[in-house]
């Protein structure tokens, strides 16, 4: 896995960037539904948000490799961009991630830092709604508001799970030396 302490620090710093773009992009997108010129700024921030969330998703699946992960990091991220198939895949990538993460944490005896499978399913449903009926401007703004909060809680759970797994791996490496 390379230098795990670097990996941990980059997860933390990229999470900060994700948070900044998240809390700029989502509100601007909601406002942009009513004030069209702002929509462009919201879209640009949402592109950055998506990039940083994909990085976190990739890294999360990466740390689960060899521990019962149902997919690879590249598939987890890449299949989420296939038109229409993505609506199915988001459930695999996020609800499956919650299931696989919690199972691995159980295996290694860690009882905290759980991911909520229900929250992941809710986020997937909200994402599908955003990409379908959410294209209607006012409807999109209404759906984006809960999506903003549900998604962010899920992102926090992802970050915490990745860092917990990395800390566990680091402590086991130190014990072996």
Taking the C-alpha atoms of residue 93 and residue 81, their distance in angstroms, rounded to an integer, is 12
Domain ranges of the chain: 4-176
Taking the C-alpha atoms of residue 157 and residue 123, their distance in angstroms, rounded to an integer, is 13
**Contact, 46 vs 26, CB < 8 A?**
yes
H helices of 114-136, where? 117-131
pTM: 0.91
How large is the average pLDDT for residues 52-79?
Answer: 96
Q: What is the pLDDT of residue 87?
A: 98
Tens digits of residue pLDDT in 125-167: 999 999 999 999 899 999 999 999 999 999 999 999 999 999 9
């Amino acid at each position: 896995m390379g230098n795990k302490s670097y990996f941990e620090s980059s997860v933390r710093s990229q999470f900060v960037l994700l948070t900044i773009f998240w809390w700029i992009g989502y509100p601007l997108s909601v406002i942009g539904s009513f004030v069209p010129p702002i929509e462009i700024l919201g879209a640009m921030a949402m592109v950055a948000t998506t990039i940083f969330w994909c990085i976190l998703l990739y890294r999360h699946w990466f740390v689960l490799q060899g521990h019962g992960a149902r997919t690879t990091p590249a598939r987890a991220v890449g299949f989420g961009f296939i038109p229409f198939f993505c609506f199915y895949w988001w459930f695999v990538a996020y609800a499956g991630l919650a299931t696989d993460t919690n199972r691995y944490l159980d295996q290694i005896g860690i009882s905290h830092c759980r991911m909520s499978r229900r929250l992941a399913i809710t986020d997937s449903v909200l994402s599908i709604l955003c990409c379908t009926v959410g294209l209607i401007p006012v409807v999109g703004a209404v759906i984006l508001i809960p999506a903003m909060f549900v998604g962010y809680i899920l992102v926090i759970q992802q970050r915490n799970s990745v860092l917990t797994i990395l800390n566990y791996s680091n402590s086991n490496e130190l014990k072996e030396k």
